[in-house]
Amino acid sequence: MAKDPVARLRVAPGTKVDLGRHATDATLGWEKEWALEELERAKERLDVLQARLYAEEQRSVLLVLQAMDAAGKDGTIRSILSGLNPAGVHVASFKVPGGRETQHDYLWRVHEQAPAKGHIGVFNRSHYEDVLVVRVKGFAPKAVWSKRYEHIREFEQLLADEGTRIVKCFLHVGKDEQRERLQERVDDPEKRWKFRMGDLDDRALWPKFQRAYEDALERTSTKYAPWYVVPADRNWVRNLAVAKILLGVLEDMDPQLPPPEDGIEGLVVR
């Protein structure tokens, strides 16, 4: 039997990552029509497992999404989590730090947003910005950011030890595809609000960002918090891949409903 295409996206701990060798337009052997139906099936199953995780209230899941602009972090979140009970999902978006955030270490604001027991947390950008944009744009010297990979591994180990299952997806979009999507944002009045002039600065730094991503993936893909490189040029591939990765984690956790109180079984409510 062919190896699970999603498992092949996983960055094995300690291996080198060359993003140039990961196709951004891969279909993973899927057909679009099937993939859209399969996504619906995956979402139904996610709904069941999320309800159990919530009821169990012992453990949590953290999905970290990182990507270049316009790779579709927001679209992925909308597509995968739309059917779930919002009470059990917490999405945290990390922007340029401001106010009190700047007066603390970089993990301070992140830890606060980590999912509570029973919840699925999603990080739309994350602590990885502190070894990505911070490194590429020189917001901190190398002596500072280079120590962070170790902090991050330790931080994620702490979360994992305390009951959080972590999975991290790099949505890998191609440079040409990004150009088209950014142009669409400029041209479409409904999407224009998403476009920032700074997106062009980041685009000009593409090779440096790719290098920074390669380092981050290499140094922080661990058994307890693996990275996946998800091809993101086709939304339907990206969405199904992330849904399957998240579903795989929940299936593996196998959350259990708490046992009923004594005397409930067979009780007739009058």
What residues contact residue 262 under an 8 Å CB cut-off, 6+ apart? none
Indicate which single residue of 17, 50, 121, 130 sits in contact with ligand ADP (rule: CB under 6 A).
130
Q: Which two tokens stand for residue 193?
A: 């609000």
Distance of CA 260 to CAs 23, 49, 56, 113, 176, Å?
A: 49, 18, 12, 31, 55
Of the pair 192, 196, the CB lying nearest ligand ADP is at 196
Of the pair 50, 66, the CB lying nearest ligand ADP is at 66
Indicate which single residue of 97, 151, 153, 191 sits in contact with ligand ADP (rule: CB under 6 A).
97
Max distance between CA atoms of the chain, in angstroms, equals 70
Of the pair 127, 165, the CB lying nearest ligand ADP is at 127
Distance of CA 116 to CAs 87, 88, 166, 250, Å?
A: 11, 9, 13, 16
* Binding range to ligand ADP, per CB under 6 A, among 35-43, 54-62, 94-102, 220-228: 94-102
Give DSSP secondary structure letters for 140-182: S-HHHHTTHHHHHHHHHHHHHHTTEEEEEEEEE--HHHHHHHH
Interaction between residue 223 and ligand ADP (CB under 6 A): no
User: What character string, x for contact with ligand ADP (CB under 6 A) and - otherwise, covers 193-222?
Assistant: ---x--------------------------
Indicate which single residue of 129, 156, 177, 233 sits in contact with ligand ADP (rule: CB under 6 A).
129
Interaction between residue 94 and ligand ADP (CB under 6 A): yes
Strand (E) or helix (H) holding 117: none
Q: Which of 45, 22, 6, 54 is nearest to 239 (CA)?
A: 6
Place of tokens 């340029």: 96
Indicate which single residue of 134, 169, 229, 242 sits in contact with ligand ADP (rule: CB under 6 A).
134
Interaction between residue 192 and ligand ADP (CB under 6 A): no
The CA distance from 132 to 129, in Å, is 5
CB of 124 to ligand ADP, least distance (A): 6
Q: Which of 73, 49, 36 is nearest to 240 (CA)?
A: 36
Query: Which amino acid is residue 54, in one-letter code?
Result: Y
Using CB under 6 A as the binding rule, the residues of this chain from 162 to 191 that contact ligand ADP are none
User: What character string, x for contact with ligand ADP (CB under 6 A) and - otherwise, covers 104-123?
Assistant: --------------------
Indicate which single residue of 59, 90, 117, 125 sits in contact with ligand ADP (rule: CB under 6 A).
125
* Binding range to ligand ADP, per CB under 6 A, among 36-44, 57-65, 125-133, 163-171: 125-133
| Cα 147 from chain centre | 23
CB of 256 to ligand ADP, least distance (A): 35
Total residues at the site for ligand ADP (CB under 6 A)? 13
Distance of CA 185 to CAs 137, 189, 190, 196, Å?
A: 24, 8, 8, 10
* Binding range to ligand ADP, per CB under 6 A, among 130-138, 157-165, 171-179, 250-258: 130-138
Which residues sit at the interface with ligand ADP, rule CB under 6 A? 69, 94-97, 124-125, 129-130, 133-134, 139, 196
